[in-house]
Amino acid sequence: MPAYCSIQFLTGLPGSSFILSRQPNLLPLRAASWKPIPLTSKGVKMELTVTRPDDWHLHLRDGDLLQAVVPHSASHFGRAIVMPNLKPPITTTAAAVAYRESILKALPPNNGFDPLMTLYLTDNTSPEEVKLARRSGVVFAVKLYPAGATTNSQDGVTDVFGKCLAVLEEMVEQSMPLLVHGEVTDPNVDTFDRERVFIETILAPLVQKLPRLKVVMEHITTMDAVRFIESCSEGQVAATVTPQHLFLNRNSLFQGGLQPHNYCLPVLKRETHRQAMVSAVTSGSRRYFLGTDSAPHERRRKECPCGCAGIYNAPVALSLYAKVFEEAGALDKLEAFTSFNGPDFYGLPRNTSKIVLRQSAWRVPESYTYASGEIVPLFAGQTLEWLPSNS
Ligand code: DOR
Ligand code: ZN
């Protein structure tokens, strides 16, 4: 086991008679783990100490929703790449600086969480804005949303190779990473094929045209994306992976009725894709890192006739990632994924503080109430197995 990952086996702890390894409405990663496992019969419980993770893809929103959600991310993550798809979107460095201030104000006292800001790319973003962003010291990437692909993407890009080329060339000069929502928006393309078609028609040609552009393909969902990422130069093109895309397949959208809280974009895919992603992420490759894509929407905006895409996973993400690595027999690779590969790719220092993940059952709240309503987290009301804490 590498020296960086400290795993302790604790034996005979009280109160650990049963850990629900997997809930009935989750898909088994291994058939054997489908049933509750009496942990005491094994007599072993694990405790993992890892370098504090960062979240390289996070939606923090604004206003009272920001106030409600930021403590969940800030309690265990050191930094987060903050998505710019607000209304109106964060298209300028000045707006990013102001947004950062409002995030810092919403933090719990004495919390060192560091929001790393991004700009929202439009057809009209200027190369000058990229220079300003780099000089600001607070903007770390530019996000490409194909216009109409997802929440608040209506001001996104319609012409990557035409109107955006000059700005992308400036990003190469400034070593400013491009973060990509990798889905085409053509209504004639099947929803489940949108990522693959994006890779074929936009992303692969883009990487070929600008081989020195640093690119993060965000929230990958398919074996096509895994193959693409593996085909690119390491350190040049990387991918974030969410807990839901590692843990669930598209059956979970329909299990026992329509499940709006499992709906996100890109939408969950079939089981073979999930397995390819688990293999890639748990292989120890440096090309993949943690990005939750935690995307809260008020309950009524999810449970309605035209529900919003977005899964609120900030409170459960670390538990789920740990479970995926555990079931793949790759807990020794977890820390690189959660805490090393991201900062290494962005050229930032790794965090120095640690967190602890204990293999101990905990119950996810049914919802979180805030000034304007409620947010329902992923796996609301269910028992998860790995509990993060600061010591
Ligand atoms: O499910 C999603 N929700 N996917 C995205 O790309 C955006 C996000 C949001 O902002 O709600
Ligand atoms: Zn996102």
Distance in angstroms (rounded) separating the CA atoms of residues 129 and 119: 9
Cα of 216 to ligand 2 centre, how many Å? 12
Amino acid 30: pLDDT: 31
Please indicate whether residue 273 is annotated as part of the active site.
no
45 annotated active-site: no
- Of 65, 151, 179, 378, the residue with max ligand 1 atoms within 8 A of its CB, to mutate for a pocket test, comes to 151
State yes or no: is 219 an active-site residue.
yes
pLDDT of residue 33: 27
Ligand 1, CB within 6 Å, residue ranges: 59, 85, 150-151, 181, 264-265, 295, 309-310
Three-state SS string over the chain comes to CCCCCEEEEECCCCCCCCECCCCCCCCCCCHHHCCCECHHHHCCEEEEEEECCCEEEECCCCHHHHHHHHHHHHCCCCEEEECCCCCCCCCCHHHHHHHHHHHHHHCCCCCCCEEEEEEECCCCCCHHHHHHHHHHCCEEEEEECECCCCCCCCCCECCCCCCCHHHHHHHHHCCCCEEECCCCCCCCCCHHHHHHHHHHHHHHHHHHHCCCCCEEECCCCCHHHHHHHHHCCCCCEEEEECHHHHHCCHHHHCCCCCCHHHCCCCCCCCHHHHHHHHHHHCCCCCCEEECCCECCCCHHHHCCCCCCCCEECCCCHHHHHHHHHHHCCCHHHHHHHHHHHHHHHHCCCCCCCEEEEEEEEEECCCCEEECCEEECECCCCCEEEEEEECC
Weakly modelled stretches of the chain, pLDDT under 70: 1-44
Q: Which ligand is nearest to the CA of 118?
A: 2
Ligand 1, atom nearest to 152 Cα = 10
- 383-389/139-144 β-pairing: unpaired
**Which token pair is 358?**
């204990």
Is 57 tagged catalytic?
yes
- Tell me the C-alpha distance between 329 and 185, whole Å: 38
For the chain, domains (ranges, CATH) are 53-348 (3.20.20.140)
Residue 293's CB is within 10 A of a number of other CB atoms, namely 26
pTM (2 d.p.): 0.90
Q: Exactly one of 219, 245, 261, 302 is catalytic; which is it?
A: 219
Q: How far, in Å, CA of 85 to CA of 153, rounded?
A: 7
181: annotated active-site residue: yes
Specify the residue with its C-alpha closest to ligand 1, atom 3: 310
Distance from the alpha carbon of residue 32 to the mean position of ligand 2, in angstroms: 33
Q: Which of 45, 54, 55, 59 is catalytic?
A: 59
Predicted local distance difference test score (pLDDT) of residue 228: 98
Q: In what order do the strands lie in the sheet with 288-290?
A: 55-58, 79-82, 114-120, 139-144, 178-180, 215-217, 237-241, 288-290
Alpha-carbon gap, residue 225 to 232, rounded angstroms: 11
Residue 3 makes CB contacts below 8 A (sequence gap 6+) with none
Q: What are the pLDDT digits (tens) for 14-39?
A: 222 223 333 333 333 332 222 233 33
- Chain segment 84-137, per-residue pLDDT in tens: 999 999 999 999 999 999 999 999 999 999 999 999 999 999 999 999 999 999
Residue 345 CA, ligand 1 centroid: distance in Å: 23
Whole-number pLDDT of residue 391: 77
What gap in Å lies between CA 34 and CA 360, rounded to an integer? 17
Of 215, 221, 220, 219, the residue nearest 235 (C-alpha): 215
